[in-house]
Chain A
Amino acid sequence: MEAFQQMLSQAGWAQGMQPWALSGLAMLFAGGTILGGVAVGAMFFIWTERKVAGYIQSRYGPMYVGHFHGVLQSIADGVKLLLKEDIWPTDADKFLFRIAPLLVFTGAFLSFVVLPFGPDFVGASLDIGLFYAFATSSLVVMGVIAAGWGSNNKWSLYGAMRGAAQVISYEIPLGLAVLPVVMSVGSLNLGTLAEAQRGWLWSWHLFNPIFFVSFVIYLISSLAEVNRVPFDLPETESELVSGYHTEYTGMKFAFFFLGEYADMFVVSAIAVSVFLGGWYTGIPAVDAFVPAPLVFILKSVFLVFVQIWLRWTLPRLRVDQLMYVCWKVFIPLSLANLFIYGLIRSMVG
């Protein structure tokens, strides 16, 4: 935000402009940049997903559109989705059916505001950044429920119930897992958390044994949080057709899809800034000339790749196994982890 305002005033546009107009323009700029990034990034991830899936299953995936390995396939699909007929189920709840994709996408989009792409590249450097990012995922849950209920379809409703139960359960280990790191740094600001890992590779939080346990819990819980395999029970093609978005077509469906891939990036980016050194490369000499956003985005994209890789490798869990893992394994484990870290800190001082 501030960086945008400075850029605007340096470009000479700001002369004779009211301060409120300047800050409004900066808000529009920042929001527009994030929105464009989310849309293009999600299209790139969809293409990556299809290519990775193809290679894991010994086939090619999209090959023709755009000549080089089907790079433009997502754009072609986007145009196709724009042109598709917008189908409404007969007895759908009109209001809920319409706002559901918007809620899901908005929830994912809002989290981007606090992601620290670099020391100066952050939409809003909130002091409660991490907490804010978890709060926005509540909107996604509401969107899923609205979709399931509004579709007036029992598969959608089952999918939505599973999705909501899963997301609100896994929010607990997700939050508890990052708490030791928050205790150590003393801040919820994602930028400050990343800044604390400056220096050589071993100053990353990942290489602290207690934080490593946190990282594993976070990584697995985040898969459940974004409804990815092995926790894709809300969608389960084989039993629920495709869960809460069964009845959606055209751009409404595209919004769910964009939201899902944006969410994957968000949880990865949070993992990068909390555990994997944020925008630091791990070698102080290299940090001086490598652009920070590039490092941050590359690390996050790698974690998104890991999520895709897991999706095409692992089978799906059953509902009871999913709940067992969350309530009887992860929550006690993360509580114990938090307790041990607190004990060590209070004894060492």
Chain B
Amino acid sequence: MISTVIWCLFAGMTVMAALAVATSKNVVHCGFGLLFSLLGVCAMYVFLGADFLAATQVIVYVGGILVLILFGVMMTHRITATDLKSELVQPVAALIAAVAILVLSVGMILEQVWPAKEHLDPITPTTHAFGVSFLTDYLFPFEFASVLLLVALIGAAMFTRDSAGEDSDHV
């Protein structure tokens, strides 16, 4: 009863915030819309009993990616002076793409057998299962992702350097 009401509140928040991201003309407002949308998704994970995933969602998407996006926006000169265009361009193609994505995702949702439990009253710890599967079944994707991130890190450090061999002190 109570959890249904709370679930509806969070679901509404997720959808409304996502709408705000799509329609807002101010890019900073889009960023903050994304914040509430991501938090709503995090709440959905909590309702599904995926505690670790929920916290990771907040740490990675809110604490990392969203902050970086807003950083980029704020570093850009006179960013609010330019209005975001939200008019219709090529409505037919957009409609086809949107419907195709909708059909695909709904089809997948219906086809997939979800390993859901009937009753999720005490949230069972998921960290142990995560750790085991990362280091056994999914070791290759895990390592691959970490190497990819390392490459991105080194690349970013290379690009921001003034010139090779010279330590810059502009901070």
Contact = CB atoms under 8 A, between A and B. Distances in A.
Interface residues of B, number: 27
B1 A20 contact: yes
A148 to B, nearest CB: 8
B80 to A, nearest CB: 9
Contacts of A95: 29, 32
B154 interface: no
Interface size on A, as a range, is: 35 or more
A319 B169 CA distance: 11
Chain B residues touching A, majority SS: helix
A157 interface: yes
B55 A128 contact: yes
A126 B51 contact: yes
Contacts of A135: 55-56, 58-59, 62-63
Contacts of A127: 51, 123, 125-127
B2 interface: yes
B28 A96 contact: yes
A138 B63 contact: yes
B63 A188 contact: no
A66 interface: no
Nearest to B64: A168
A131 B127 CA distance: 11
Contacts of B32: 95-96, 99, 142, 146
Interface string B63-76: 11011001100100
B150 to A, nearest CB: 13
A24 B127 CA distance: 28
Interface string A116-160: 000000000011100110111111011001101100000001001
A136 B42 CA distance: 12
A217 interface: no
B52 interface: yes
Interface in B46-91: 51-52, 55-56, 58-59, 62-64, 66-67, 70-71, 74
B68 to A, nearest CB: 8
Contact of A149 (B28, B59, B125): B28
23 contacts: A23-B2, A93-B29, A95-B29, A96-B29, A99-B32, A127-B126, A127-B127, A128-B51, A128-B125, A131-B55, A135-B59, A135-B62, A135-B63, A138-B67, A141-B67, A142-B35, A145-B67, A145-B70, A149-B70, A157-B74, A161-B71, A320-B171, A323-B171
Given A95-B29, A145-B67, A161-B74, 10 more contacts: A24-B2, A127-B123, A128-B51, A128-B55, A134-B55, A135-B59, A138-B59, A148-B74, A157-B74, A164-B71
Interface of A: 18, 20, 23-24, 93, 95-96, 99, 126-128, 131-132, 134-139, 141-142, 145-146, 148-149, 157, 160-161, 164-165, 168, 171, 188, 319-320, 323
